[in-house]
Amino acid sequence: MKVERLSTGIREFDELVAGGIPRGFFVAVTGEPGTGKTVFCLHFSAEGLRVGDKVIYVSTEESRESIIRQAAQFGWDFETAEREGKMIIIDALMRDRSYEWSLNEVTVDELVAKVIEAKRKLGYGRARLVVDSMSAFWLDRPVMARKYSYQVKRILSKWDFTALLVSQYAITTESAFGFGVEHVADGIIRFRKVLEKDELKRYIIVEKMRQTPHDLRVHEIEIVDGRGMIIKRPTHMRREDFALPEKVSRKLAERRQTTLAWSTGG
């Protein structure tokens, strides 16, 4: 059976995943802040607009205006796309009640309801969804991450979405928020940054992509003003060099155990 794939808008990345992300997949985009997750999501959204997909972008950590400005930095006009009814940016940060596409409460129920409302507004057809980031919905109750992620996927997968669900961890606080999304995801794309000889370098690896023969190597990436993300050569970095920091991994394991105990009533 032939798998329909959606281009991310980054040709070099599409080559890593047999031509693109399978239609209908919910993919976790994970990593610490400043690694390129949002730029990757902007590419995915801009490519959707280019090929005529409906696009819904949920921003929990930046305002709608910030997303529009970032997109413009790479040559993508999200403001016009909104005005022409091709895209809706849902602002979950500012909570401006005068803005129709604002989340007044950062809850999963309101997220799902607002995304469905936006899809109905945009109309029938293949759609792309970005939630940047899902971590905001369980910051004060991480034990619920797996349940909330499952709820989002179970309901929204019926609406012909191919989705990028962003989650992140912060090394400074030793907090990890990705395991809920990763558990239910059809794919996992992980970003990482490393300081090498006083130079910040960013990396990407496809850890999982169902129904897809994908590249298993770590690739260096570069973000170029006016162009966006470039996937460069594979590196000789070891898998353990790219893995989560030990303290974060330990924290993650502890939360998995807590989640398991909570879900089983133990």
Query: Read out DSSP for 77-124?
Result: -HHHHHHTTSEEEEE-SS--TTSTTB-SS--HHHHHHHHHHHHHHH-S
Per the structure block, which two tokens stand in for 101? Answer: 């596409």
Give pTM, 2 decimals.
0.88
Residue 93: give its domain's CATH number.
3.40.50.300
Provide the terminal-to-terminal Cα distance of the chain, rounded to the nearest Å: 42
pLDDT score of 121 more than 50? yes
| Domains: count for the chain | 1
Q: What are 8-33's pLDDT values in tens digits?
A: 999 999 999 999 999 999 999 999 89
pLDDT score of 131 more than 70? yes
Domain range for residue 254?
A: 5-264
